[in-house]
Structure 1
Amino acid sequence: MTNNDSKREHGVKRVNLSKEAKRLKLERDAAKTENYKALTSQLFTSRDDHQLGLSEFNETTKILLINPEFYTMWNYRREVLIELRKSIEVEQYIDMINRDLKLLMDLLKRYPKCYWIWNHRRWCLFELVELNKVNWEYEFGVVSKLLELDARNYHGWQYRRFVVQNIEQDSLKKKKESQSETLILLNINANEFNYTTTKIKKNISNFSAWHNRSKLIPKVFKYFSEVSDIPEPLQELYKTVFQSPHLILVHDLELIKTGMYMDSDDTSVWLYLYWLLTEEFFIKDLTKEVYLSILKEQLSIIEELNELEKDDHKDHWDHCWCLKSIVFVKVLIYKQSNEDALSDDIKAHLKDLIKIDPLRKAKYLDQLEGKVSII
């Protein structure tokens, strides 16, 4: 293959440009840059002069389509909208906000991790809340669709929590007198818990799904414990998972075990394991003997996985995450047994970690010297 041939990088076809094509591209880019600078200068002048009309609103649209990270222009756009709200009909203002939501949807498809787009969408929705024109169920559908496109988008998950919180409030406001508030909240949050399960099973390396799950577990358990008559669609979830914190722990440890064996390098799996083994919500439900038994079982699983990983390594080295987790669990065991957390085997593991994970050498040295906690 010659230098002028097409190549592929990350599955995307890349074509080397000729000198003439490069020159023409630079000319086009220079023109775009000059236009962007002129538009920016014009808008800053308009803002300084407190010009807050429809013309300025349209100009912010132009620049934000070019650069949605330009947070000053989002601020200016909101200033313009607030001023316009004073002088136009309510229905006209609602229409402007809805058109903004459509624009934001188009931008999110192209820039799904731009904080300022998500932030402006929240602002628009609260404007509609004031006018009693917001549709949270539609917004729930929007964020669900966006998470289908990128199930690991942190901003999308954060936004989903925001929408769910507002659906909860809205549902409680609209509830009939005979309906139970707890049951309404249970249904919403149990569905969210099941949603995290679906996303995790599709892709175990989904830190945001694991994180959302950790927030939901105490809430769902609380609602289950407060409901006297569990609806039939939720009975299976209650029986298999939410009867007790102990059962939840056992259930999710099994889920984590699958993740550890599927991808032992996945950070999210190990961090969720650490949360499960140290969260007071679970520990206070266990006797010391049961807790120690669970810790020892997890240690055995991780040590077994580590041996499998060592067999696959050309130098027969310990697997970094396995070894860190062995240290983590051993320290928990020693603390329960009132033994020295910095025992000889822990020190040996930390010295091995210095070799296989040299980027964190200083951290392991501090742990060896007892300057920082291993947990």
Structure 2
Amino acid sequence: MQHGIKRVSLSEEAKRLKLEKDQVKIKEYRALTEELFKLREDGNYSDEALLKNNEILIINPEFYTMWNYRREILSRYKAEDVQVYEDLLNQDLKFVLSQLKKFPKCYWIWNHRTWLLFELVKIEKVNWGFEFAVVSKLLDLDQRNFHGWHYRRFVVENMEVACKGDLAKILKINLDEFNYTTLKIQKDFLNFSAWHNRTKLIPKIYNLIHGNEEELNGVLDTALFQDPKLVMNNDLEMIKTGMYMSPEDTSVWSYYAWLLSDEFFTNAFDSKKEYLDTLNGQLDVITELNEMEREDTGNDNPSCVKFLKYIESLKSELQ
């Protein structure tokens, strides 16, 4: 009994010490914030201001006003010495990367990194290949990170620009990205961002190939993209695994709806009957899955019920 009382006493003491420590931190943070606002108000864009800015952003990376101030400080060097500006931008990329490792889902860090790269573009010193490696590594650490996927698309778009119209290189970049989404999905069928990226890549790759066959001259394996129906059947088979493994996950079902209804696929069918046969086949798949769920839980699966109705509605539109 006495031992228990002693532990409570220590716990209360620990709480008191923590509260005191937190109050000191809050006081220091407020003082630093006030100092930085004063520096900005006075038009102070010195090295000292940049160091102070480092301090506040390490504590609070969501402080977007301080990111704005940081860009103002960095921009001062642009007019003075381009080489110094380049070095400073690259140093800041390292700072931002260290922050991304700690706060990978903070929008303002990603936003600032994008700004740094555009500044490097202006002085023709950007390295998109390195940036691609960085975002690939970050997605290895957190493969569902929405911000990371958005940033990856941004990097890929700029890698394409750097290809200067070389269709074979541009196509290879996009085929590699398609294969990358396949890899990430097979590791985690709940990866919404990978499925979403696929919806952008499939029509893009198809359009890059068709109409440019002579220029591409068969240099890459594009057999899957010769007909939208081939892609559709390939992905219907792949997504079936995801539905059976995680029937409650919305990302799988969202992609499934896209496969069944997007005009990119539906316009590829030679007849209404051919499309109808595909829909009936999918009704069988969902019915079987729902029966399995009912055997396991005693209830219909809500997603299965929803999509049985959805597929029937697609069929009715053909009438």
With the length of structure 1 as denominator, give the TM-score of the two structures: 0.80
Could you give the per-residue CA deviations for residues 181-233 of structure 1, whole angstroms, max 9, x where no partner exists? Answer: 221211110010000000001111100000000000011112222223222xx
What amino acid sits opposite 2:281 in the alignment?
E
Aligned residues: 308
Alignment partner, residue 7 of structure 2: none
How far apart, CA to CA, are the structure 2 residues paired with 1:85 and 1:246?
Answer: 52
What amino acid sits opposite 1:44 in the alignment?
F
Does residue 1:76 correspond to 2:69, yes or no? yes
Alignment partner, residue 348 of structure 1: none
Alignment partner, residue 358 of structure 1: none
Alignment partner, residue 198 of structure 1: 183
Alignment partner, residue 158 of structure 1: 150
What amino acid sits opposite 1:246 in the alignment?
K
- Identify the match of residue 230 of structure 1 among 199, 218, 221: 218
How far apart, CA to CA, are the structure 2 residues paired with 1:187 and 1:224?
Answer: 11
Matches within 5 A, 1:56-135: 56-87=49-80, 89-135=81-127
Could you give the per-residue CA deviations for residues 128-155 of structure 1, whole angstroms, max 9, x where no partner exists? Answer: 1111111000000000000000111010
Q: Unmatched 5+ residue regions in structure 2?
A: 5-9
Alignment partner, residue 198 of structure 2: 213
Does residue 1:28 correspond to 2:21, yes or no? yes
* Identical columns (%): 51
User: Which is helix-richer, 1 or 2?
Assistant: 2
Question: Contact between 2:77 and 2:84, CA under 8 Å: does it hold in 1?
Answer: no
What amino acid sits opposite 2:291 in the alignment?
E
Matches within 5 A, 1:1-375: 18-87=11-80, 89-172=81-164, 181-225=166-210, 226-228=212-214, 229-231=217-219, 234-235=220-221, 238-239=222-223, 241-286=224-269, 287-313=271-297, 316-337=298-319
1:84 Cα deviation after fit: 3.0
Q: Unmatched 5+ residue regions in structure 1?
A: 5-16, 174-180, 338-375
Alignment partner, residue 360 of structure 1: none
How far apart, CA to CA, are the structure 1 residues paired with 2:28 and 2:79?
Answer: 32
1:278 Cα deviation after fit: 1.0
What amino acid sits opposite 1:86 in the alignment?
A
What amino acid sits opposite 1:58 in the alignment?
L
Which deviates more from structure 2 when the two are superposed, residues 219-228 or residues 65-74?
A: 219-228
1:49 Cα deviation after fit: 2.0
What amino acid sits opposite 2:310 in the alignment?
F
Question: Contact between 1:172 and 1:184, CA under 8 Å: does it hold in 2?
Answer: no
How far apart, CA to CA, are the structure 1 residues paired with 2:98 and 2:45?
Answer: 25
1:38 Cα deviation after fit: 0.5
How far apart, CA to CA, are the structure 2 residues paired with 1:126 and 1:306?
Answer: 50
What amino acid sits opposite 2:28 in the alignment?
N
With the length of structure 2 as denominator, give the TM-score of the two structures: 0.93
Could you give the per-residue CA deviations for residues 97-139 of structure 1, whole angstroms, max 9, x where no partner exists? Answer: 1111001111101100000000000000111111111100000
SS in 1 for 2:163: helix
How far apart, CA to CA, are the structure 1 residues paired with 2:218 and 2:295?
Answer: 49
